[in-house]
Amino acid sequence: MAGPLAGTLVLDLSRALAGPHAAMMLGDMGARVIKVESPGGDDSRRWGPPFVSGESTYFFSCNRNKESVVLDLKSAEGRETLERLVGRADVLIENFRPGVLDRLGFPVTRLHELNPGLVVLSITGFGHDGPEGGRAGYDQIAQGEAGLMSLTGLTEPTRTGVPIGDLLAGVYGAYGVASALAARERTGQGVVVRTSLLAALVGVHAFQGTRHTVAGQNPGLTGNHHPSIAPYGAFGCADGMIQVACGTEEHWRRFAKLLDIDPEEFPGNADRIARHRALVERLESVLRTRPRRHWLDLLAAEGVPAGAIRTIEEVYTWEQTLSQGLVIEVDHPATGRVRLPGPPLRVERADGTSVTRTRHLPPPLLGEHDETIRRELDEGLLA
């Protein structure tokens, strides 16, 4: 299997999105990922519509490049099989509520008795300890609790269009696993990597966080315009909206001159922020006289950063998206040939040759690889 994590065996005991997303990222990089499911299967197998040939497209979004084995961890046989898998694995990912894995007989101490080199990734909703560490983790609740919704929207707090807390926890988790695997090369010891939806969302507050911690401000709804840079946001044209990002004074001067506006009418970024409503009205009084394509062509010619606001359908047919390998095709046993969002990372040698995997596995059917994995365990071939 190609990829920088080729030869790495990952057990994915997680469900829904945060843990599965982390495991999928490791699989994209060449790891062999075995998804350990309960007899009922991952909850997300039932999330929909839409369903295609009875399969949840939600499940498809976070389970490519995995195999599925069914284990009842409340049974002696299921626990014994998991012990055997743990003994061969490099990574175990779980997103149970705090204490659940312990009650099943697999606290971290037991996992490291079975395999001292095992890297464990534990993802929770609000942290594994602290006064609210036992809370269940649901993305929209975490977006509200972590302050993200207070920054998003035009007139009221708004969730993002994707479960960003789950996804970011998965990204941070995969980053932590990769770091722990690198450290294991030096120490030979496994560790526990912990993150949560709360930690992931606070971790991306960026300048909005330091507006509070350093400047003492309490940021509010941002809408479609940057709170610290102007003009930087979405603007109405004759037939829709475009986005323009003037990150430098030179960008502003070029933009203003394209619209036949004197740049000194709004001199300096601080002045433009202070007079932001007047600035937007002035710009849109010109932009609304011509269609989007007209302005995008002019802005591109002048080197002013700008872009369209695409639909999801437009993104997946855009040549630039396709050129980056962000759409892949796989053959699924139930749905046949399907297109999936592709891995967001590419790994290349200095000469440009790729070391990223080129063959991708479709999201597995429930228990699809039971027989294969048990046979490999019995024959000592699992790796």
Instruction: List alpha helices for the chain, DSSP H.
Output: 18-28, 57-60, 76-88, 100-103, 108-114, 139-145, 148-151, 164-187, 197-202, 207-213, 249-258, 269-274, 276-287, 292-301, 312-315, 319-323, 370-378
Backbone angles phi, psi at 156, to 5 degrees: -150, 155
**Token reading at 115:** 């395999």
Q: For the beta carbon of residue 162, count every other beta carbon within 10 angstroms.
A: 11
Using CA atoms, how far apart are residues 169 and 153, in angstroms rounded to an integer?
Answer: 22
Burial of 347 (0-12, 13-18, 19+ CB in 10 A): middle
Alpha-carbon dihedral sign for residues 88, 90, 94, 99:
positive
Q: Supply the DSSP symbol for 343.
A: P
**Token reading at 165:** 């807390």
Residue 297 among the catalytic residues: no
Nearest to 19 by CA among 222, 277, 200: 200
Residue 313, classed as helix, strand or coil, is helix
- Residue type at 284 in one-letter notation: E
Backbone angles phi, psi at 253, to 5 degrees: -60, -45
Q: For the beta carbon of residue 127, count every other beta carbon within 10 angstroms.
A: 19
Using CA atoms, how far apart are residues 294 and 216, in angstroms rounded to an integer?
Answer: 42
- Strands 32-37 and 9-12, by their bridges, are parallel
Q: What is the number of helices (H) and of strands (E) in the chain?
A: 17, 13
Residue tagged active-site, from 28, 42, 139, 166: 166
Catalytic residues: 166
